[in-house]
């Protein structure tokens, strides 16, 4: 079963996918920045963790104005990370351990150093080179007002004015993110053809799929209207426009032409579950990140509602759900769940938010048990398996994230979840680099207990919990394919209880008091110690329920969804 699950073409329906933020994973050459050789050396760790695939954040040549999401060349590896030959070897070596590879494709924008953008700047207004982007004259008699007042996802304006060779101000260009990330014009056939070719370039190298960055933003309304107060479905001028689906349908055709077919995973931030599901129709993407679940607070009603809405929306298109607790853009769960407001919202990020890390850690452990029990695909962001907290006291002069700078220093930015991993030893760089050199972001001095080496020897560690969860998940038929049914009859207020298949129950106590458990034969895994047989606050378990003959004592599940 396990082997079959790993090798069949529908592997992506139940996979555990580990996100490698290359810069911060492991540094083999000692320059303080993670690299491909570092990942290669740690492949046995990833095999032992039990993941099915790795998603690499962009490893392409980039000036790093946005951590690599400003790509200057989609077909070469950034020299800080290694070479194309190393990437090819890494893909093969991972595969030899049964681990597939997903690469990150960034279609909405390129780096301002990309040859296309440099050519567009040089060629001037009205040129075919500029048509691949969104160059536009300014408004007003002097052309000094931006073409629109659209707001950037990184705060501030979305247009920057060019300067001609004579120093005179010229046209403006659109960038939904930083000025170093000019947006491509997806109405242009060359933009479409180029990206299909990039997909083939990586698929030909054996990668199993792509993660599509900012997937709902590519297409813009060419009339450039302002954003309405309450845009109806498909009415937003630069988000979730209907024409996007045509792009993904053509990418699906590219992916399906391979044997085995390659997989498309979308980064789709959309509040509307029905619109979200449209991206997952059978001839579009295979899966997309479930940010609704990720952003919810640690609250039983909220989480249950999100699970239900998610499963319902995915059922309508026969796509598997994904469960994501964090990634390289958001606050680490150990920190987020330790706060009075444990929801996630980019706009609400502030320095100095009070946090109880002991509470956060307990909840993050329970959240791992919960998400690993849900039907679909599980994402693990590097370092979450070690229970790393957000690093909130990085020296200000070491911060790199444009989100921090563009907010005028109000938003701490995303560096705190990107701190290099601690592997071994008692002091920085904790085995991240082979030398004593300080990594590109400094690591806290109190991470000795959080290293992978330390945690591997401790059965009560977060790493041991993740290893147990992933091993059980891989081998248990109920967890692989069993339907989810809520155990309403047993649920207390603030408790999530559900079955997978007929034999496995997951119970999570988010209430302030310990609760009894349904009758069971065995506790398969628990995020914390049971006390007198009760499940304490902020604790989760997987239970093996009595087999069929003893079914009379079993709780009555609600009908299958």
Q: Select from 172, 177, 337, 381 the one that contacts ligand GLC (CB under 6 A).
A: 177
Between 69 and 498, CB nearer to ligand GLC: 69
> What is the 8-class DSSP label of residue 339?
S
Between 14 and 62, CB nearer to ligand GLC: 62
**Is position 71 an interface residue for ligand GLC (rule: CB under 6 A)?**
no
Q: Select from 21, 45, 56, 69 the one that contacts ligand GLC (CB under 6 A).
A: 69
Between 217 and 303, CB nearer to ligand GLC: 217
Residues 103 to 142 in contact with ligand GLC, rule: CB under 6 A: 106
Longest Cα–Cα distance in the chain? 86
Contact 133, 185 (CB under 8 A): yes
Q: What is the 3-state secondary structure (H, E, C) of 31-100?
A: CCCCCHHHHHHCHHHHHHHCCCEEEECCCEECCCCCCCCCCCEEEEECCCCCCHHHHHHHHHHHHHCCCE
389: which residues sit within 8 A by CB, 6+ positions away?
Answer: 332, 334, 335, 357, 360, 361
296: which residues sit within 8 A by CB, 6+ positions away?
Answer: 302, 303, 306, 343
**Least Å from the CB of residue 327 to ligand GLC:** 7
Give the residue at shortest CB distance from ligand GLC: 69
Between 69 and 344, CB nearer to ligand GLC: 69
**Is position 66 an interface residue for ligand GLC (rule: CB under 6 A)?**
yes
Element (H, E) at 162: strand 159-163
**Is position 509 an interface residue for ligand GLC (rule: CB under 6 A)?**
no
**Is position 400 an interface residue for ligand GLC (rule: CB under 6 A)?**
no
Element (H, E) at 486: strand 484-486
Between 27 and 267, CB nearer to ligand GLC: 267
Angle subtended by helix axes 357-373 and 462-475, to nearest 10: 10
# binding residues, ligand GLC (CB under 6 A):
9
**Least Å from the CB of residue 23 to ligand GLC:** 12
Binding track, positions 285-324, relative to ligand GLC; x by CB under 6 A: ----------------------------------------
Contact 525, 540 (CB under 8 A): no
Between 106 and 388, CB nearer to ligand GLC: 106
β-pairing, 322-324 with 377-381?
parallel
Binding track, positions 191-220, relative to ligand GLC; x by CB under 6 A: ----------------------xx------
**Is position 329 an interface residue for ligand GLC (rule: CB under 6 A)?**
yes
**Least Å from the CB of residue 291 to ligand GLC:** 10
Contact 379, 327 (CB under 8 A): yes
* Pair of tokens at residue 484: 């989810």
**Least Å from the CB of residue 209 to ligand GLC:** 16
**Least Å from the CB of residue 479 to ligand GLC:** 29
Binding track, positions 80-109, relative to ligand GLC; x by CB under 6 A: --------------------------x---
Distance (Å, whole) CA 540 – CA 273: 27
Element (H, E) at 314: helix 300-315
Residues 249 to 268 in contact with ligand GLC, rule: CB under 6 A: 267
Calculate Rg over the CA atoms of the chain.
24
- Site residues, ligand GLC (CB under 6 A): 66, 69, 106, 177, 213-214, 267, 328-329
């Amino acid at each position: 079963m396990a082997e079959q699950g790993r090798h069949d073409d529908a592997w992506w329906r139940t996979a555990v996918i580990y996100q490698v933020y290359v810069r911060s994973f492991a540094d083999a050459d000692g320059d303080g920045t993670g690299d491909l050789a570092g990942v290669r050396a740690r492949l046995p760790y990833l095999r032992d963790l039990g993941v099915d695939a790795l998603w690499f954040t962009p490893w392409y040549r980039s000036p790093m104005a946005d951590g690599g999401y400003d790509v200057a060349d989609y077909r070469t590896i950034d020299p800080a990370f290694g070479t194309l030959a190393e990437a090819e070897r890494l893909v093969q070596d991972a595969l030899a351990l049964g681990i597939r590879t997903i690469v990150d494709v960034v279609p909405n924008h390129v780096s301002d150093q990309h040859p296309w953008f440099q050519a567009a700047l040089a060629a001037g207004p009205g040129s075919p080179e500029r048509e691949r982007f969104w160059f536009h004259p300014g408004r007003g008699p002097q052309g000094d007002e931006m073409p629109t007042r659209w707001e950037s996802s990184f705060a501030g304006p979305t247009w920057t004015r060019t300067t001609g060779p004579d120093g005179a101000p010229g046209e403006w260009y659109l960038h939904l993110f930083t000025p170093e990330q000019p947006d491509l014009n997806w109405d242009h056939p060359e933009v479409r053809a180029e990206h299909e070719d990039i997909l083939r370039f990586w698929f030909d190298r054996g990668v199993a799929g792509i993660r599509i960055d900012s997937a709902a933003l590519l297409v813009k309304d060419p009339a450039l209207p302002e954003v309405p107060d309450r845009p109806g479905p498909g009415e937003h001028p630069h988000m979730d426009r209907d024409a996007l689906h045509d792009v993904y349908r053509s990418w699906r055709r590219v992916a399906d032409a391979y044997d085995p077919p390659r997989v498309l995973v979308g980064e789709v931030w959309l509040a509307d579950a029905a619109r979200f599901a449209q991206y997952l129709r059978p001839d579009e993407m295979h899966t997309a990140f479930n940010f609704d679940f990720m952003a919810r607070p640690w609250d039983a009603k909220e989480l249950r509602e999100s699970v239900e809405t998610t499963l319902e929306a995915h059922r309508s298109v026969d796509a598997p759900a994904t469960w994501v607790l964090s990634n390289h853009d958001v606050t680490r769960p150990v920190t987020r769940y330790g706060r009075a407001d444990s929801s996630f919202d980019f706009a609400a990020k502030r320095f100095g938010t009070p946090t109880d890390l002991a509470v956060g850690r307990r909840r993050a452990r329970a959240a791992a048990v919960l998400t690993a029990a849900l039907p679909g695909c599980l994402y693990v962001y590097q370092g979450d398996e070690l229970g790393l907290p957000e690093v909130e006291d990085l020296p200000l002069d070491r911060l790199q994230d444009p989100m921090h700078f563009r907010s005028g220093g109000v938003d701490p930015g995303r560096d705190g979840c990107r701190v290099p991993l601690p592997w071994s030893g008692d002091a920085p760089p904790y085995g991240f680099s082979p030398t004593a050199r300080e990594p590109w972001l400094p690591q806290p001095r109190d991470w000795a207990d959080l290293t992978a080496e330390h945690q591997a020897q401790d059965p009560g560690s977060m790493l041991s919990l993740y290893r147990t969860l992933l091993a059980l998940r891989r081998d248990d038929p109920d967890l692989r394919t069993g339907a989810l049914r809520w155990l309403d009859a047993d649920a207390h207020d603030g408790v999530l209880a559900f079955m997978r298949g007929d034999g496995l129950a997951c119970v999570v106590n988010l209430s302030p008091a310990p609760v009894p458990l349904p009758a069971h034969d065995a506790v398969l895994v628990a995020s914390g110690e049971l006390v007198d047989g009760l499940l304490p606050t902020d604790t989760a378990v997987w239970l093996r329920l009595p087999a069929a003959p003893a079914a009379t004592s079993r709780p009555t599940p609600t009908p299958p969804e």
